[in-house]
Amino acid sequence: MNWSSLLVLVCPLMMVVMMLGMKGAHGHGHGKKGSHGVSASDSGVRQELDELKAQNEQMKRELEALRGYQKAE
């Protein structure tokens, strides 16, 4: 048996080993889960999104007030 045939046999076995190793690494150490199953980074993003939504609503009210003021003139 020569080296090229050995490589042909070893290559698929190494692929299987690497794929199993990658499968086992998923889902470990990607942030702590909160009480609702949301990671800590997701919680911060959600809080920022809520703040931006509140600012957006405030700006909409101010814009409507300015439009009403402009129509009154």
How confident is the model over 14-40, as pLDDT tens digits?
888 888 888 876 665 555 554 556 677
Whether the model pTM is above 0.75: no
Are 39 and 30 within 8 A, CB to CB? Answer: yes
Q: Please give the average per-residue pLDDT across 27-56, as a whole number.
A: 76
Domain holding 14, by residue range, is 3-71
Confidence of residue 5 (pLDDT cuts 50, 70, 90): confident
Q: How many CA atoms lie within 13 A of 17 on its CB side?
A: 5
Q: Which residues of 13-40 are buried (b: 16+ CB within 10 A; e: fewer)?
A: eeeeeeeeeeeeeeeeeeeeeeeeeeee
Question: Domain total for the chain?
Answer: 1
Q: Is the pLDDT of residue 60 over 90?
A: yes
